[in-house]
């Protein structure tokens, strides 16, 4: 269909139409101004000539009692008015103009009572503003006057629909389609769900703006932030906010799936089906004749211990607590984390115009934990990288176990609780992972060796007695330059003084990432200070150490002769009576970068430092032990184990080198795993290996990314202790004790962590490639663009933890991070018996890696992760690599948000990435959020940031769970003016769990699914940037308007007072006492009761209204004329306009129930109907439908409509 009024072929007809345009002008602009009088009961003499004593509605005079309203018309030029209106209407097809007339007639007659009710409701709203808070109403008048004189057209820009959209609707939809859409809107408004929702919104606004002063202050601060002085000229934050809202709507235009094969409607329906199946308890129904997965699978409904189930309501409640914790200080968090995150992110200049984060998010959905593409790589795992990341974080946050060093007959955990350390790896965990002889029937096992060494007080580090045992935390024994924030307290007897935070794997690793990327501990930089010195993004001088020394270690032993001796790390001895040698007992470590390196940008420095940490940073640990290593040795000897990992990935591979066939650990001792060279040079013709070289430093430090080395030195004085200083006489017994079966060993890091380390790589660069710092530029496009923001968040959490003066870090702000991971790890996370002991935790020496005598049975229970090989134990050091991967047989909340089918099963992962999160990844929402938050961290916007964050904190602080106030039944009693987030959660869960139970799963186009279709369509229509119906355009203009008129703090307060007055009627005796308020639902009543009948009455003519509306509203047309000329007289104020309008809306001529010439709606509607008849039937003088019949025939009236009209509108 061609656009209306745009073809030349219709010009003659349209110009002819202008002969009658005076009728239409009067109808549309001053329809009520026409006199609808007369004394003839049959309606023949309907147009009074004003010669009688007329009491009805009079032409051009009915607005006389309302001069402010009338002034809009009296200031206009009548000729210009008629010409503008005539020119506009002449462009619309005749049938559409007629339909517009019929729509107005129908609204005034068919839905007359609804129009009257609507008018009363609008008048009530005006009166509430005037009387509920007179002071606020009076004080806000200057704001109204500013808006009145605003430089841009206000009404046009606040209208959510423009003329062009009306044209699109007209040209793309039939009359039936338009009518149906309007009827549907009316049906939606009267739907009980809509009524309840609007009532809830009004209750929320009343309570938040009137009853709860803290919440109200939060809203004032939030608005104050948006209109802060720093944002008046710099609109980047406003634009960022609007873009976020637009993108949410644009998401509904996207197609889900890696091949864009699924509509948003189907994607959301599948999510509902899967969420109901896996995360809600169901009742049997025709659509579900049997119980669902959640109801039948204990993995979902009963995870054990104190863990919470994978139940949708519970997960949403926990997500709320986590999100609230980002802004509202509570528990272990003492700062506004989001605020500090914004400030940290702003330190990275490339974050201020962030882009690409959404693509990274999309990749994390498509790749698996090792970076393989789940759609195209046959070796890929079904579980996505994003899911795997959260699962492994949860695993690492819980992995760490306690041992009983006094029980030396087996390699089982302690037989008395607590069994776990809460995410702190112990030396016993490392030894168990290597399969070391932990317990045995004799005394030659590592429990006995380490305990005797610890209690001997003969092992020294930096001159002090150094005590390590099986419960020593692994991170505490790292060397100072690689230990990070962890304290070096190692004696298990002093466990109460252990570092409570940075001995945990997750906080320790996150802190190291922060150190190298933001705080200058990495070698790469892009900026210098005024003195030319390299500086980190946080402004501090570079902290990078290109070389450093380990601590000084020595062991004192008593050989058979010569008195006590002191043996140093590196193979040096002396008498214990001598002074300690200052230059012995340590190793010198050089990092891979000999000096700091300047690069072109802060972003390049960030990623190169991150990859340097992952693949090159030297992590070094030295374990000195005083031990008797075999029955043939009479005296203790000195044993030193030095372990070096290049980067975090090198640590993951840290294990003894046992040669290419994994059968010769002795002769490959001290050889790098990748480079294949020894740490110390030796003469192969006279020396067995580097372990025999006396008194030398390390000579060959590999720079291979991710390389590692394990170096064991044993020193003594022969079997009888009376020989010269030499390599231990029982060297060959070391490795069978340390690593009895090298073919099955993964390393010191538990394999369930190390074999999932591929997901850690994804934090830097996506995919399967190992990207070292030197390869960053080559793989630049694959960088993880979400990581800088995550690092900014981690710094905020770490800074909060370090702000506590207690060096043991008793608070753990990182719980925000790990708590989120745990939510998204359900139902993978569970509490149950350690299967490493045997089936169901019952010891069976035939199948269990636990060996020895006196093994307690059953084994302990603790928090675990459901891996592929969980039946053989989470701690099993000898499983195949795939057995350590998360099982595909469970579905997390993330999983069903990523992909799902309409017939879900627990093992069904279609790998299609066709869920709502894929839709999200195809927008710029994530990039926009990061950019918006980052720019809020601008020091120049401190006023805005502080107000916004304080406002959000105040709002969230007053939003609680039922459980925070004694439960649902007690909430209104204990917290009457606060908000229960559970109500919103219950609303959502009800629609997932119950409302769609009976919807057919195999027919997603069934009418019963229509509300999902409608929701997607409405979000798309009313929120997206590309929609002509978008409400966001109006919001964008409103924010610009408010910024331009520069609202003050007091004006914001008055505005909110005025808004709150719409929801109650105050007591006249004490209007400020909210306890005396009478609640009203005026807005809800208008929208759900008064408006729908009007829409229904006009719906059949909806397409006609679009045509006429387009011609009237297009730029330069009639509405443009009104914008320029229909101005309220300057002698009146906005306050007077409100009063005049209120009186008019309540006037008897509008509200009367009479159906005569005193009723404006009836009179105007009837007149418009008559004009419609005239316009429709024309001036024919004969025929049964002729309107202008003549008076020439006998028996006909002596006066006709034509005669009356001719008299009224003639030049006489």
**Paired tokens of 1130:** 């300057």
Q: CA 92, CA 87: separation in Å to the nearest integer?
A: 9
Q: Tell me if 673 sits within 8 A of 606, measured CB to CB.
A: no
Query: Which secondary structure element, helix H or strand E, spans residue 493, and what is its range?
Result: none
For residue 192, give Cα distances in angstroms to 195, 361, 1037, 1084.
Answer: 5, 39, 32, 12
Query: Which secondary structure element, helix H or strand E, spans residue 713, and what is its range?
Result: strand 708-716
Q: Which residues pair with 460 in a beta bridge?
A: 465, 554
DSSP 87-127: HHHTTS-HHHHHHHHHHHHHHHHTTHHHHHHHHHHHHHHHH
Q: CA 874, CA 541: separation in Å to the nearest integer?
A: 44
Q: CA 489, CA 1089: separation in Å to the nearest integer?
A: 72
Please report the beta strands in 930-1028, taking only residues with DSSP state E, as ranges in sequence order: 959-960, 979-980
Q: What backbone torsions phi and psi does residue 132 show, to the nearest 5 degrees?
A: -65, -40
Q: Tell me if 625 sits within 8 A of 459, measured CB to CB.
A: yes
Please report the beta strands in 755-887, taking only residues with DSSP state E, as ranges in sequence order: 829-833, 861-865
Tell me the helices (H) and strands (E) count for the chain, helix number first: 49, 21
pTM, full prediction: 0.90
pLDDT at position 234: 86
Q: Tell me if 1151 sits within 8 A of 123, measured CB to CB.
A: no
Question: What distance, in Å, lies between the first and last C-alpha atoms of the chain?
Answer: 45
Q: Tell me if 818 sits within 8 A of 290, measured CB to CB.
A: no
**Paired tokens of 405:** 């060093």
> Closest Cα partner for 86 from 1120, 1117, 1177?
1117
pLDDT at position 1196: 54
pLDDT at position 993: 81
* Domain spans in the chain, listed from the N-terminal domain onward: 8-227+1047-1177, 840-865
Q: Which residues of 393-419 are buried (b: 16+ CB within 10 A; e: fewer)?
A: bbbbbbbbbbbbbebbbbbbbbeeeeb
Q: CA 312, CA 293: separation in Å to the nearest integer?
A: 13
In Å, how far from its chain's centre is CA 1051? 32
R_g over Cα of the chain = 40
pLDDT at position 46: 45
DSSP 237-258: HHHHHHHHHHHHHHGGGS-BTT
Q: Which residues pair with 619 in a beta bridge?
A: 645
Q: Tell me if 744 sits within 8 A of 679, measured CB to CB.
A: no
**Paired tokens of 117:** 């009710």
Classified as helix, coil or strand, 677 is coil
Mean pLDDT per 10-residue section of the chain, whose length is 1212 residues: 43 37 40 38 43 62 89 88 90 93 94 95 94 91 94 89 90 96 94 93 95 96 92 88 93 93 94 93 74 94 97 98 95 96 97 94 97 95 97 98 96 93 98 96 93 96 97 97 95 93 98 98 97 96 98 94 93 96 97 97 98 99 93 90 98 95 95 98 93 96 98 94 90 91 94 97 97 98 98 98 93 97 98 96 92 92 97 96 96 95 76 94 94 95 95 96 96 95 93 79 89 92 89 93 92 94 87 87 95 96 96 93 91 96 95 90 90 75 51 53 53 35
Q: CA 904, CA 909: separation in Å to the nearest integer?
A: 9
Q: CA 849, CA 427: separation in Å to the nearest integer?
A: 18
pLDDT at position 61: 78
> Closest Cα partner for 68 from 136, 148, 131?
148
Q: Tell me if 1172 sits within 8 A of 101, measured CB to CB.
A: yes
pLDDT at position 1202: 56
Give the residue carrying structure tokens 């979400």.
786
Half-sphere exposure of 779 (CA within 13 A, CB side): 21
pLDDT at position 51: 47
Read off the DSSP letter of residue 210: I
Query: Which secondary structure element, helix H or strand E, spans residue 572, and what is its range?
Result: strand 572-575
Q: Exposed/middle/buried for 956, CB within 10 Å: 0-12, 13-18, 19+?
A: buried
């Amino acid at each position: 269909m061609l656009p209306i009024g745009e073809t030349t072929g219709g010009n003659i007809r349209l110009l002819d139409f202008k002969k009658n345009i005076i009728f239409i002008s009067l109808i549309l602009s001053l329809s009520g101004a026409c006199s609808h009088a007369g004394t003839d009961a049959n309606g023949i003499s309907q147009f009074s000539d004003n010669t009688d004593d007329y009491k009805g509605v009079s032409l051009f005079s009915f607005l006389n009692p309302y001069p402010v309203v009338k002034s809009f018309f009296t200031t206009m030029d009548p000729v210009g008015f008629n010409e503008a209106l005539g020119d506009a209407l002449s462009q619309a097809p005749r049938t559409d103009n007629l339909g517009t007339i019929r729509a107005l007639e129908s609204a005034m007659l068919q839905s007359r009572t609804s129009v009257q009710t609507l008018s009363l409701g609008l008048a009530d709203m005006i009166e509430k503003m005037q009387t509920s808070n007179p002071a606020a109403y009076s004080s806000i008048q200057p704001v109204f006057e500013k808006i009145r004189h605003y430089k841009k057209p206000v009404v046009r820009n606040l209208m959510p629909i423009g003329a062009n959209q009306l044209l699109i609707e007209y040209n793309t939809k039939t009359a039936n389609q338009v009518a149906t859409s309007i009827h549907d809107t009316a049906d939606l408004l009267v739907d009980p769900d809509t009524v309840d929702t609007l009532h809830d919104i009004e209750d929320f606004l009343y309570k938040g703006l009137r009853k709860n002063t803290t919440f109200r202050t939060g809203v004032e601060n939030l608005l104050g932030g948006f209109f802060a002085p720093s944002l008046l000229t710099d609109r980047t934050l406003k634009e960022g906010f609007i873009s976020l809202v637009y993108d949410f709507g644009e998401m509904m235009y996207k197609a889900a799936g890696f091949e864009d094969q699924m509509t948003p409607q189907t994607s959301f329906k599948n999510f509902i089906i899967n969420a109901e199946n896996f995360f809600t308890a169901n009742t049997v129904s025709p659509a579900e004749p049997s119980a669902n997965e959640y109801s039948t699978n204990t993995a979902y409904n009963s995870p054990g211990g104190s863990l919470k189930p994978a139940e949708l309501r519970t997960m949403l409640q926990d997500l709320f607590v986590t999100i609230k914790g980002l802004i509202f200080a509570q528990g272990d968090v003492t700062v506004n984390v989001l605020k500090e995150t914004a400030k940290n992110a702003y330190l990275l200049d490339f974050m201020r115009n962030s882009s690409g984060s959404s693509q990274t998010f999309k990749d994390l959905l498509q790749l698996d934990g090792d970076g393989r593409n789940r759609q195209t790589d046959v070796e890929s795992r079904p579980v996505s990288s994003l899911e795997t990341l959260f699962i492994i974080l949860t695993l690492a946050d819980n992995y760490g176990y306690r041992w009983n060093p006094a029980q030396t007959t087996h390699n089982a955990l302690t037989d008395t609780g607590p069994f776990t350390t809460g995410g702190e790896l112990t030396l016993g965990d490392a030894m168990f992972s290597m399969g070391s002889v932990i317990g045995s029937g004799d005394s030659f096992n590592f429990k006995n060796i380490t305990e005797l060494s610890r209690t001997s007080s003969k092992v020294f580090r930096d001159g002090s007695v150094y005590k390590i045992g099986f419960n020593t935390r692994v991170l505490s024994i790292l060397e100072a330059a690689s230990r990070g924030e962890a304290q070096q307290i190692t004696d298990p007897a002093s466990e109460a003084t252990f570092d409570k935070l940075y001995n945990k794997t997750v906080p320790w690793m996150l802190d190291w990432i922060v150190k190298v990327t933001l705080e200058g501990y990495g070698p790469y930089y892009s900026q210098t200070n005024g003195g030319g010195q390299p500086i980190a993004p946080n402004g501090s001088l570079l902290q990078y150490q290109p070389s450093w020394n380990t601590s000084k270690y020595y062991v004192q032993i008593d050989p058979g002769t010569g008195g006590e001796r002191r043996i140093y790390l590196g193979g040096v001895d002396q008498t214990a009576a001598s002074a300690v040698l200052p230059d012995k007992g340590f190793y010198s470590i050089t990092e891979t970068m000999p000096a700091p390196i300047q690069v072109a940008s802060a972003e390049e420095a960030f990623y190169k430092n991150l990859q340097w940490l992952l693949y090159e940073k030297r992590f070094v640990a030295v374990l000195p032990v005083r031990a008797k290593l075999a029955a043939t040795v009479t005296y203790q000897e000195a044993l030193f184990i030095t372990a070096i990992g290049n980067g975090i990935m090198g640590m993951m591979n840290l294990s003894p080198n046992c040669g290419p066939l994994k059968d010769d650990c002795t002769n490959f001792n001290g050889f790098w795993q990748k480079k294949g060279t020894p740490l110390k040079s030796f003469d192969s013709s006279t020396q067995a290996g580097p372990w025999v070289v006396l008194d030398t430093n390390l000579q060959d430090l590999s720079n291979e990314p991710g390389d590692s080395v394990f170096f064991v030195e044993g020193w003594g004085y022969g079997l009888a202790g009376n020989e010269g200083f030499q390599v231990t006489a029982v060297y060959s017994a070391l490795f069978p004790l340390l690593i009895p079966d090298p073919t099955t060993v993964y390393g010191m890091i538990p394999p369930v962590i190390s074999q999932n380390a591929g997901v850690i790589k994804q934090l830097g660069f996506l995919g399967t490639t190992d990207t070292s710092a030197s390869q960053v530029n080559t793989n630049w496009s694959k960088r993880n663009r979400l990581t800088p923001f995550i690092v900014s968040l981690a710094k905020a959490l770490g800074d909060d933890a370090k702000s506590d003066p207690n060096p043991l870090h008793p608070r753990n702000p990182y719980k925000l991070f790990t708590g989120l991971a745990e939510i998204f790890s359900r139902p993978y996370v569970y509490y149950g018996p350690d299967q490493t002991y045997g089936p169901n935790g019952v010891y069976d020496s035939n199948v269990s890696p636990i060996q020895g005598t006196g093994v307690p049975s059953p084994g302990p229970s603790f928090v675990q992760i459901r891996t592929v090989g969980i039946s053989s134990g989470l701690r099993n050091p000898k499983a195949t690599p795939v057995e350590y991967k998360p099982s595909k047989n469970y579905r997390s909340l993330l999983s069903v948000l990523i992909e799902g089918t309409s017939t879900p099963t627990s093992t069904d992962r279609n790998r299609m990435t066709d869920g709502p999160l894929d839709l999200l990844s195809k927008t710029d929402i994530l990039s926009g959020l990061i950019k918006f938050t980052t720019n809020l961290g601008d020091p120049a916007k401190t006023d805005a940031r502080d107000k916004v964050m304080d406002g959000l904190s105040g709002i969230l602080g007053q939003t609680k769970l039922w459980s925070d106030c004694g439960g649902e039944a007690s909430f209104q009693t204990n917290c009457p003016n606060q908000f229960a987030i559970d109500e919103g959660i219950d609303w959502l869960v009800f629609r997932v769990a119950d409302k769609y139970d009976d919807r057919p799963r195999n027919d997603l186009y069934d009418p019963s699914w229509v509300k999902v279709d409608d929701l997607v369509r409405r979000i798309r229509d009313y929120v997206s940037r590309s929609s002509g119906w978008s409400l966001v355009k109006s919001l964008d203009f409103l924010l610009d308007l408010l910024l331009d008129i520069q609202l003050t703090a007091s004006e914001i307060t008055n505005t909110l007072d005025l808004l709150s007055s719409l929801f109650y009627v105050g007591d006249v005796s004490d209007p400020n006492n909210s306890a005396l308020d009478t609640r009203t639902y005026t807005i809800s009543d208008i929208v759900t009761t008064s408006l729908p009948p009007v829409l229904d009455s006009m719906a059949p003519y909806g397409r006609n209204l679009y045509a006429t509306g387009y011609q009237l509203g297009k730029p330069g047309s009639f509405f443009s004329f009104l914008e320029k000329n229909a101005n309220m007289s300057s002698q009146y104020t906005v306050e007077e306009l409100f009063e005049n309008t209120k009186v008019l809306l309540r006037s008897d001529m509008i509200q009367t129930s009479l159906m005569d010439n005193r009723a404006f709606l009836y009179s105007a509607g009837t007149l418009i109907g008559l004009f419609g008849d005239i316009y429709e039937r024309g001036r024919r003088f004969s025929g049964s439908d002729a309107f202008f019949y003549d008076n020439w025939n006998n028996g006909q009236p002596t006066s006709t409509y034509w005669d009356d009209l001719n008299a009224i509108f003639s030049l006489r």
